[in-house]
Amino acid sequence: MATLPWDCVVHGVPASVQSKSSTRARWKTAVAAAATSRWPAGETPLAVPVQVTITYFFEGDALDVDNMLKPIQDALIGIVLEDDKYVTDVRGSKRDLANAFVVKGMSPALAEGFISDEPFVHVKIDIAPDH
Residue-wise pLDDT tens digits, 9-55: 999 999 999 999 999 999 999 999 999 999 999 999 999 999 999 99
Are residues 19 and 93 in contact, defined by beta-carbon separation less than 8 angstroms? no
104-130: b (≥16 Cβ within 10 Å) or e = eeebebbebbeeeeebbbbbbbeeeee
pLDDT tier at 131 (50, 70, 90 boundaries)? Answer: confident
> Which pLDDT score is estimated for 50?
98
Which residues have C-beta within 8 Å of that of residue 127, sequence separation ≥ 6?
A: 4, 48, 49, 50, 51
| pTM for this prediction | 0.95
> Which pLDDT score is estimated for 62?
83
